Chains A and B, each alone.
Chain A
Amino acid sequence: MASKVLYSLRDPVPKKRDDFEDILEERRNSSDLRYALKCYTPAVYRNLLPCKASMLKTLVLQSESLRYVINQVSVESGEAPEVVREEASQVLEEMAHRLQLSTVRFFAFTLSKAFKALYRSVRVNEEGIQRLQQAIQEHPVVLLPSHRSYMDFLMMSYVLFTYDLALPVIAAGMDFMSMKFVGEMLRMSGAFFIRRSFGGDKLYWAVFSEYVKTMLRNGYAPVEFFLEGTRSRTAKSLTPKTGLLNIVMEPFFKGEVFDVNLVPVSISYERILEESLYARELLGVPKPKESTSGLLKARRILSEDFGTMHVYFGTPVSLRSLAQGHISRSQYNLVPRHIPQKPAVDTQAFVNDVAFHLVRLQEENMVLKPWALISTLLLQNPDGMELSALTQQADWLRRLALSFGAFLDWPDGERCSKVISSSLTIHRNLACVSGGRVRLVVAEASGAELSAEEAEFNRAVSVLSCASYRNQTLHVFVRPALLAVAMHTANSNRRDEVYNCFNVLRNIFSNEFILCPGASVQDFEEACYLLVKCGAVQELQQEVVMSSSGQMTLSFLCSLMEPFLQGYQVVCRYLREDTQEDLPEKNFVPGVRNFALQLILAGSLRCHEALSSDLQKNALAALIRLKAVRKVKTGDQVMLKVNKMAVNSLEDTLGGKIPTQKPVLARL
């Protein structure tokens, strides 16, 4: 229910966006030291209750809500309250940040050097900064940056310091703490650390949520966290996590603050530092444990060119306005507010809707470089393309993307061929031109012959690296693309049938792409709107038909979905053919990877993206959601119980046999 209203407020093609300023320009012309030591006096929240970081801990430990949980835990566990309290205090110790201006200054200095080495420019929308400055004074602020790289939160704090804005406290994963020194440095620059999983640990949850809420309520500092929970290895936005969002909303629900400003921030990279690392990780090469020495090795990276970075501070979203008409705050009238209450079902739905809404706002302001379009085209032509054809198609795609509302950073007035060649220069490790053809670069053997498997693996690294740039465009194309596929598979042009197919596909891929739950009709309408707008489709009375000039667009869009359709089919096939009824969950990814590799080696599959563990996991999540697979805990093993019939029918659906269903079109 809620999503409808949140969602229908959106205009699929956003209005004008802000301009950018390069913050490195000044760094290149004046002293970094002086900059790092500049007078820093940020505007603060008008109702700020001034308090030191150390005082925060006391506030949290003495809070009524924590005292309540400590007593509860003590009664349940039989431990003395003092013991539980001590435990809470240790949790807090492990978690708490120790924000210090001196450390921030140190980072400001060193990062200036690093950023200048890495990036040509770091471009920030200053209007966004101004809005943020306003917002910080008005109400507690939650900063919600997209998460594609370790750089993200260093960059966030750097930008805020640069503009004399209040420095945030940042929720970070515990994994950083394995890097002792770096971890402590980050702590002193405002990071606080949360364990990755603390499922049923009531005490941990209580300490953690009270800590965050205390900072928020008192206006201590903007609270920053990543809605996506973790870095996206694929450059696609991840399905948002709602735990922390729930926590930061609670003070508003319970009337402890008048409003909370939620500020989506879109951080776009022309080239991601972790590019090939991610691809390898997706292919199952174990992720190097974050370690200080590992990060130091990254020094090599400093000599490379990572192009331009964009940081776009979105318009602050008032939680109060979002909640208007959806949340009845009076539901908290009857129980003391310090007693933890599980959020009501409609509250949960609301938080979830808002989370999606915010991720879409992040996506909307992600800046696309020409390379994102070029890599999209290259992936659709695995054998390479004539440079001239690429040039022509890139220009065409540029126009399509713009008409769909993409935020494209395409150099003004420059010839397309020039744009392409400069993109290829930055991404020379991924693509090259030889003999007038452009193709992906695949690592080749130096010396000894590669096994067939190794060769395919190398190819997959290239494809997945490249795909991470294509994926940057997906939020622009995904809805029209699903419609294109639906039109292709539907038995007729009838609007209700097309919608049906669209809905089925959308449902299957809702773990893969950001598709707001319950917004199927709106997505369909948005897709139709965009395709009609670009002239690919005509909406007749009860029909949605391709227009005479629509072929190119629709087939491009279908191809865009192809890796996903194929990848999911491979997963289905694997579950259907290669497994018993019961499959230990931990065997799933290696199993399906191997299965796909064999298909590739046998020449019957050309889709290397099927090797991506991200895709495989998303597919599994979808199958579980659609009840084709069940997760069962037996002992300490998690087993997957496969319903082969259901899997089979899904596979058919993906292969283009959409089951006929009663149209569910009341609202169309």
Chain B
Amino acid sequence: MASNTDVSERQRSAQQRLRIIAGHLQKREENEHTALSAQECKAETSKSNAAKVPKRRQEVMKWNGWGYSDSRFFFNKKGQAEFTGKRYRLSGLILPSLKDWFEGTFGANLQHKTPATASLNVSAVPPPNLNEVFVEELKAAGVALSTDPEDRVFRSHGHCLHEIFALREGRIGRIPDLVVWPSCHDDVVKIVELACKHSVCLIPYGGGTSVSSALECPPEETRSIVSVDTSQMNRILWIDEKNLTAHVEAGIIGQDLERQLNESGYCTGHEPDSMEFSSLGGWVATRASGMKKNIYGNIEDLVVHIKMVTPRGVIEKSCQGPRMSTGPDIHHFIMGSEGTLGVVTEVTMKIRPVPEYQKYGSIVFPNFQQGVACLREVAKQRCAPASIRLMDNEQFQFGHALKPQVSSIFTSFLDGLKKFYITKFKGFDPHHLCVATLLFEGDREKVLQHEKQVYDIAAKFGGLAAGEDNGQRGYMLTFVIAYLRDLGMDYYVIGESFETSVPWDRVLDLCRNVKERIVRECKERGVQFPPLSTCRVTQTYDAGACVYFYFAFNYRGLSDPIHVYEQVEHAAREEILANAGSLSHHHGVGKLRKEWMRETVSSVGLGMLKSVKDYLDPNNIFGNRNLL
């Protein structure tokens, strides 16, 4: 029997490898014409075994903005927007319509610049408050560390607007006193032990992409603050093809994880928009959600086993059973703990064979209501593609502003005949229509079948298929959009995105009310020009959807733009909560949203979480003060 199984198993995996290779070939072929896989949309690292995240991150990444130092938007001498670098499809291209959109939308003017401080003024960085014995013992234990100001500043923040804005102005608040780089689980155990022994505050640091003020050092913290940078714990320790799992160190960055797994024909399918920089441990700590969760699930569905080092010791389960009835799932205390309980060091994750076939798509709807109704129906029939996202009209217009000058894949359906067809013949109003982008994955046959099913549903809601290119372009923009905020900040425009999840029946009302609240709050607070206030539905579930808002405005004439910004965001969150939205779908709570935790989970619920914290970390070693 056993050998039988082995044989068939071997056969199976051999066949599978063939299939995958075939898949690659096929894809490559198609690439010549149109298709482009999601992986290739983000920055492409040429060598597959390329260096992972370096300790000195500032050498490849911006210290006061988003992403790689070599990639950024700017307006050239002719006033045309360009995207620099070589990493992205958009790199090196000119975006002729961005300027008009930018000036028209925000009332901004290219004459009115607000450039960032060019480089970090090291002398403005407060000297480290070191616990000498702790440092000595760490060194003795062989853990890499640094007190370099640049290293410390880099780990003092996430990517909230106020954090980046302050850096651009050269303002530095409370920052970590020391950065340490454990290289494995045991290093972390040592670090935590020493921290407990010497009463030092630890803040885990993954990819640094937090958007909840989770990485900010509490200014009132008097102990020495140590940033535990997990980036060097980045190995895939094993792959189990029988169970389709991989055991991975928690510091690995999303794109590295996917690329390495791809080499063996696998993927996790977990693709948060931040996957170029965010880490596995960060995902676990924030309950992250990936674009393709419809096929692969969110992080809580993907995780099979977690190891976390806490001041009480190491917490983990004794087996990897796919589901257990053993009381409340301890993983759920870890997921979403936001670095308050310990350091996640190793994770066993589900993996899947790389899909044979991918296809993009897009649908245009006469208005947002119809679009939402369609998504709702798709969710009802449980036939959501790997990803389905619905943009409102403003985002649709914005998408157009990002159209590069010359490139066949970037032609838009609003061009030429099609524009005529949709607006004149079908009676779509360009000021109301909105677009859904789709990504299908699987084997070719099924994808085509699936695609038909979705387009048939869409047709019932007045949706017209609008081509693969538009869909693909939408997903590609995902990775460059984050770079745009830095451009805005060069010209008095500040902005942010935030998200929520909400039952289906409240989606439309919530979107309308929140967008309107933003507009109104801006007006009341003296913002001179109406803000950009737009949303999209980014995920569908059986019982509701995830909605993502973008909000930006021109702050000329405001004495304290960040304060205004924060008031507006606060009001928008209140509006979300008043409209049955959740406090967060995936960004987490951090310090930014913790004032609402009690109302969100009830006093008793908060008490439960507190008691867990008190048990695991009575001395608040993990003192980032998130969540509670």
> Would you give the shortest CB distance from A152 to chain B, in whole angstroms?
33
* Contacting residues of chain B (479-521) with chain A, CB-CB under 8 angstroms: 505-506, 509-510, 512-513, 516-517
Contacts of A47 in B (CB 8 A): 512
The answer to whether B512 touches A329, judged by C-beta atoms less than 8 angstroms apart, is no
In the complex the two chains form, what is the Cα distance from A328 to B599 in whole Å?
11
Interface string of A237-262 (1 = CB under 8 A from B): 00000000000000000111010000
A258–B512 touching, CB < 8 Å: yes
Query: Could you tell me the dominant secondary structure of chain A's interface residues?
Result: loop
Contact B579 A329 (CB under 8 A): yes
Are the C-beta atoms of A333 and B580 separated by less than 8 Å? yes
The CA of A336 and the CA of B580, in the complex, are separated in Å by 10
CA distance A256 to B506 in the complex (A): 8
Q: Residue on B with the closest CB to A251?
A: B509
Tell me whether A258 and B516 are in contact (CB under 8 A). yes
- Find chain B residues with CB under 8 A from A254 CB: 509
Residues of A near B506 (CB, < 8 A) are 255, 337
Known: A258-B517, A329-B578, A330-B580. A336 touches B509 (CB 8 A): no
Q: How far is the CB of B63 from chain A (nearest CB, A)?
A: 40
Per-residue CB proximity of A304-346 to B under 8 Å, as 1/0?
0000000000000000000000001110110011000000000
Within 8 A of B (CB), among A61-93: none
B577 within 8 A of A: yes
| A337 near B505: Cβ-Cβ < 8 Å | yes
Q: Cα distance A330–B502 when bound, in Å?
A: 12
Contacts A255-B509, A256-B509, A337-B505 hold; do A330 and B578 have CB atoms under 8 A apart?
yes
* Complex CA distance for A62 and B15, rounded to whole angstroms: 55
Assess whether B512 is in contact with A332, with CB atoms less than 8 Å apart.
no
Whether the pair A255, B517 counts as a contact (CB closer than 8 A) is: no
Q: Once bound together, how far apart are the Cα atoms of A329 and B580, in whole Å?
A: 9
CA distance A332 to B577 in the complex (A): 11
Size of the B side of the interface (Cβ < 8 Å), in residues, is 13
- In the docked arrangement, what's the CA distance between A432 and B510, Å? 64
* A254 to B577 alpha-carbon distance, docked (Å): 12
A contact residues around B510 at 8 Å (CB): 255
Closest Cβ of chain A: how far from B151's Cβ, in Å?
Answer: 43
State A337–B579 Cα separation when bound (angstroms): 11
Tell me the smallest distance from the CB of A218 to a CB of chain B, in Å.
Answer: 12
A307 to B177, CA, bound (A): 84
Of residues 573 through 594 on chain B, the ones whose CB sits less than 8 Å from some CB of chain A are 577-580
Distance of A324 from chain B, by nearest CB (Å): 10
Smallest CB–CB gap between B402 and chain A, Å?
28
Nearest opposing residue in chain A for B579, CB measure: A255
For A332, the chain B residues whose CB sits under 8 A away are: 580
Q: Is A258 in contact with B513, judged by CB distance below 8 angstroms?
A: yes
Q: A255-B578, A329-B579, A330-B578 are in contact. Are A336 and B505 (CB under 8 A)?
A: yes
Whether B513 and A328, one on each chain, are in contact in the complex, defined by CB atoms closer than 8 angstroms, is: no
Residues on A with beta carbons closer than 8 Å to the beta carbon of B577: 330
Give every chain B residue within 8 A of A330 (Cβ-Cβ). Answer: 577-578, 580, 599
Task: Tell me the bound Cα distance from A337 to B503 in angstroms.
Answer: 11
| Residue total for A at the interface (Cβ-Cβ under 8 A) | 12
B503 to chain A, nearest CB (A): 9
CA–CA, A332 to B505, complex, Å?
Answer: 12
- Interface mask (A421-463 → B, CB under 8 Å = 1, otherwise 0): 0000000000000000000000000000000000000000000
Residues A250-301 near B (CB distance < 8 A): 254-256, 258
Residues of B within 8 A of A336 (CB): 505
Q: Nearest Cβ in chain A — how far from B458, in angstroms?
A: 22
Closest beta carbon of chain A to B565's beta carbon, Å: 21
1/0 contact trace for A334-373 toward B, CB 8 Å?
0011000000000000000000000000000000000000
In chain B, what residue has the closest Cβ to A333? B580
Q: Report the bound CA distance from A375 to B512 in whole Å.
A: 53
Residue among A47, A256, A336 facing the most chain B CB atoms (10 A cut-off): A256
Interface string of A126-165 (1 = CB under 8 A from B): 0000000000000000000000000000000000000000
CA–CA, A47 and B369, complex, Å: 12
Q: How far is the CA of A256 from the CA of B505 in the complex (A)?
A: 10
A-facing residues in B361-392 (Cβ within 8 Å):
none
**Cα distance A202–B445 in the bound complex, in angstroms:** 54
A40-69, CB < 8 A from B: 47
B392–chain A nearest beta-carbon distance, Å: 14
Question: Judging by beta carbons under 8 Å apart, are B505 and A255 in contact?
Answer: no
Inter-chain CA distance A556–B505, complex, in Å, is 60
**Chain A residue with minimal CB distance to B502?**
A333
Chain A residues contacting B509 (CB-CB under 8 Å) are: 254-256
Residues A328 and B512 in contact in the complex (CB < 8 Å), given A255-B506, A258-B517, A337-B505: no
Chain A nearest Cβ from B547, distance in angstroms: 13
What is the chain B residue whose CB lies nearest that of A327? B578
Q: Which residue of A lies closest to B582 (CB)?
A: A333
B578 x A328 contact (CB < 8 A): yes
Chain A residues lying within 8 Å of B580, measured Cβ to Cβ, are 255, 330, 332-333
A256 to B599, CA, bound (A): 22
**Complex: A329 Cα to B581 Cα, angstroms:** 11
Cβ of A333: which chain B residues have Cβ within 8 Å of it? 580
Complex-state Cα separation, A620 to B24, whole angstroms: 89
Chain A hits for B599, CB < 8 A: 330
Nearest residue (CB) in A for B512 is A258
Per-residue CB proximity of B173-197 to A under 8 Å, as 1/0? 0000000000000000000000000
B518 to A: closest C-beta gap in Å: 11
Contact string against A for B residues 591-628, beta-carbon threshold 8 Å, 1 for contact and 0 otherwise: 00000000100000000000000000000000000000
* Best-buried of A47, A328, A329 by chain B (most CB within 10 Å): A329
Contacts of A258 in B (CB 8 A): 512-513, 516-517
CA distance A303 to B176 in the complex (A): 90
Shortest Cβ gap from A321 to chain B (Å): 11
A333 to B509, CA, bound (A): 13
A328 neighbours in B (Cβ, 8 Å) = 578
Bound Cα distance A330, B596 (Å):
13
Min CB gap A144→B, angstroms: 23
> B235 CB to closest chain A CB, in angstroms?
44
A328's nearest neighbour on chain B, judged by CB, is B578
Contacts of A329 in B (CB 8 A): 578-579
Nearest B residue (CB) for A329: B578
CA A258 to CA B512, docked complex, whole Å: 8
The CA of A45 and the CA of B317, in the complex, are separated in Å by 59
CA distance A336 to B506 in the complex (A): 10
| Least CB distance, B432 to chain A, in whole angstroms | 11
| Shortest distance from the beta carbon of A198 to any chain B beta carbon, whole Å | 28
Report A17-37 CB contacts with B as 1/0, cut-off 8 Å: 000000000000000000000
Q: Which residue on B lies nearest to A318, using beta carbons?
A: B520
- Rounded to whole angstroms, the CA-CA distance of A575 and B53 in the bound complex is 91
CB of A531 to closest CB in B, whole Å: 37
Cα-based distance from A332 to B580 in the complex (angstroms):
8
Residues of A within 8 A of B512 (CB): 47, 258
**Which residue from chain A places its CB closest to the CB of B578 in the assembled complex?**
A329
C-alpha gap A332/B513 in the complex (Å): 15
Instruction: List A contacts of B578 (CB < 8 A).
Output: 255, 328-330
Q: Can you name the residue of chain B whose Cβ is closest to the Cβ of A331?
A: B578
* B497-550, CB < 8 A from A: 505-506, 509-510, 512-513, 516-517
Question: With the chains together, A388 CA to B105 CA distance in Å?
Answer: 70
Question: Quick one: CB contact mask for B229-261 with A, threshold 8 Å, 1 for yes?
Answer: 000000000000000000000000000000000
Nearest 10 CB-CB pairs, A to B? A329-B578, A255-B579, A333-B580, A255-B509, A258-B516, A258-B513, A330-B578, A330-B577, A256-B509, A255-B513
Q: Which residues of B contact A (CB under 8 A)?
A: 505-506, 509-510, 512-513, 516-517, 577-580, 599
Interface residues of A (CB under 8 A from B): 47, 254-256, 258, 328-330, 332-333, 336-337
Known: A255-B513, A329-B579. 11 other contacts (CB 8 A): A47-B512, A255-B509, A255-B579, A255-B580, A258-B512, A330-B577, A330-B578, A332-B580, A333-B580, A337-B505, A337-B506
Cross-chain pairs A/B with CB under 8 angstroms, 17 sampled: A255-B506, A255-B510, A255-B513, A255-B578, A255-B579, A255-B580, A258-B512, A258-B513, A258-B516, A258-B517, A328-B578, A329-B578, A330-B577, A330-B578, A330-B599, A333-B580, A336-B505
